[in-house]
A = this chain, B = another copy of it.
Amino acid sequence: MVLCGGVGAARLLTGLVDVVDRAELTAIVNVGDDMELHGLHISPDLDTVVYTVSGQVSRERGWGLEGETWQAMDMIRRYGGADWFSLGDRDLGTHLFRTDRLSQGRALHEVTGDIARAWGLDFTILPVTDDRLRTMVTVAGEGEITFQEYFVRRAHSVPVSAVRFDGAERTRPAPGVLEALSSADRIVVAPSNPAVSIDPLLAVPGVADELRRRRDVVVGVSPIVGGKALKGPADRLLVELGREASALGVAQWYQEIVGTLVVDRVDEALCPAIENLGIRAVATETIMAEPGVTRALARRVIAPDR
């Protein structure tokens, strides 16, 4: 099973679905960056995983759908409405369906299953929790704002002094989450942002405990390569939150829950320092620029000893 944020995790999953038994594969996805906007419940990471693994994701943008149009957004702009979060017309269909089903009392994991099946996905995708959990970010000069306000509205360009997972202590893991964690042969921590994509998963009561218990089978993939995040602000966030922007910083972040860390070949020199933390370090190609690399990385994370 795989602990997932958005884009990086989704890409690794496109490899995993080719190299593992999909009936045994469970993706547990971050919901800390979910938001309510214009009355809609939006789950960006769940959608990125579904759209990407089903091959529908926009190649050009890396998020949202191919063949997207922006008619609703043009109207919102005409009215002077909030247009900082781009919602394509096709993507809106997903949010409308989800919002409708949730308002009828269905749980987020059920609606997620409906959506995944509609795209022909035959592995399990679960939100880490059906309950409300919101990643809040304290930024310089503004105080605490929601994750999407930080990530999209401020284009993650403002320094962060703290991250908090609002409501996490009152959440319960979605049905199947703890079962998947306790029974999986291998638990993969995807190359997502540790501070704002993976940590919200760990904030759901029971998840971090189970990971600590099963640390030996947990394999992380560093989202930092050569000191830089491949996408997004993971490198700056690590520094702002007191670590270094490197695969070693990632290893320190995950020290309690990860038994093995896969790092990029360019970071091979960091492997001894990582091993000093009691984490097995494996260096391989991790930049998933084409499907062959992605599949090879997927094979490596499920069998890092080979």
Interface residues of A (CB under 8 A from B): 37-41, 68-69, 71-76, 78-82, 87-94, 96-97, 99-101, 103, 114-115, 118
Contacts and interface: CB of A to CB of B under 8 A. Distances in A.
A81 B98 CA distance: 9
Residue among A73, A89, A100 having the largest count of chain B Cβ atoms under 10 Å:
A89
A93 B114 contact: no
Given A69-B89, A71-B89, A89-B89, A39 B96 contact: yes
Contact of A82 (B69, B91, B100): B100
Nearest to A87: B96
Contacts of A78: 93, 118
12 contacts: A37-B100, A38-B100, A71-B89, A72-B92, A73-B93, A74-B93, A75-B90, A75-B91, A75-B96, A75-B97, A89-B89, A92-B96
B69 A100 contact: no
Contacts of A74: 90, 93
B94 A92 contact: no
Contacts of A39: 39-41, 96, 99-100, 103
Contacts of A115: 79
Contacts of A88: 71
